Amino acid sequence: MRMVRLAQAVFKGGGVKGIALVGGLAVAEELGWRWRAVAGTSAGAMVAALVAAGYPARALREIIHELDLRSFGDSSGFKVASLLLHEGIFKGEKLLAEVDRLLSERLRRPRVTFRDLPVACQIVATDLTHRRMLVFPHDLGRPPYSLEDPYGFPVADAVRASTAIPFFFQPYRLELPNGVRATLVDGGLLSNFPVHLFQPVGGPACMPTFGFDLRGGDDGPQATDTPLELVQAMVNTILSARDLSDRENQDYARVIPIETAPYRTTQFDIDAGGKEELYQRGRAAAEAFFADPATHAWLREFAVRRALRPLRRPLSV
């Protein structure tokens, strides 16, 4: 039996390519890693939420293989008309309902909130109304949101906001106490790989952060001959251009690069064979990462830091 070791995990956004995240996660868990805190954007937000609810990677793999991603395409009508009239081709209600169902089944309570999660979770969305990044749940308690109970916010709604790929899914509307309706879309517009959320303050980190990074798939030439192809190319360009600087390793974090080409962010018609290939890509990348002597040396640094931490003095009475 392996020793349980605690770490933090960040899951990059990538739409359908997010299937590969589960493969990488599976290897880490097989090596004994468990999660003190998680964060993610878009597809990474969905993975982070389910991991925070207690789903192990092996269960997520089963969910992925049983899930028909095309079912999330709950169109409001004709695609072009939906895009023009409803700000998105798909409503996103089926995605919201599925995440809500999975969270409720795991924790056995309706409408799971951030307070209900056994593992701390941060989810990133883009707030178009206030032109800023929104990190659930922490930012909800601060201006301009000022919700009375930010940790009572439903996790599935945060995932729905973070996964609202522009033009494909309709934006999420957040009603604020001051009467303003904030328009939220995919967090990947501003932070598709939010490793910075775990940047230590006031000293070196005593716990490693693993960043599961999805690379490739949207880099090749894309067709732009029809309006829908043009929209798809625009979305893939926007989402693939974010957070390139965060791909570099930091003292507190190491990146696990997962190659996903030729699969695309919005390839919702992916078949079972494609899902399995992405999963295995994630596994292979994580196996190489954890076998790397440089990774072993980096992890030893955390063991030394924990050993050298000063003991807490007993409280005087």
Closest CA to 286 of 309, 254, 245, 252: 254
Strand, coil or helix: what is 245? helix
pLDDT band of 219, cuts 50, 70, 90: low
pLDDT of 212 > 60? The answer is yes
Strand, coil or helix: what is 51? helix
Out of 100, 127, 139, 186, which one is annotated catalytic? 186
Closest CA to 197 of 254, 123, 140: 123
The encoded tokens of residue 136 equal: 């659930």
E-strand ranges in the chain read 5-11, 33-41, 88-90, 120-127, 132-136, 167-169, 172-175, 181-186, 209-215, 253-259
Closest CA to 153 of 131, 179, 176: 176
> Which of residues 229 and 50 earns the better pLDDT score?
50
Clarify whether 149 is annotated catalytic. no
Model pLDDT for residues 247-269, shown as the tens digit of each residue: 556 788 999 999 998 998 878 88
Clarify whether 186 is annotated catalytic. yes
What is the reported pTM? 0.87
| pLDDT at position 293 | 97
Is there a contact between 39 and 121 (Cβ–Cβ < 8 Å)?
yes
pLDDT of 87 > 60? The answer is no
DSSP assigned state of 128: T
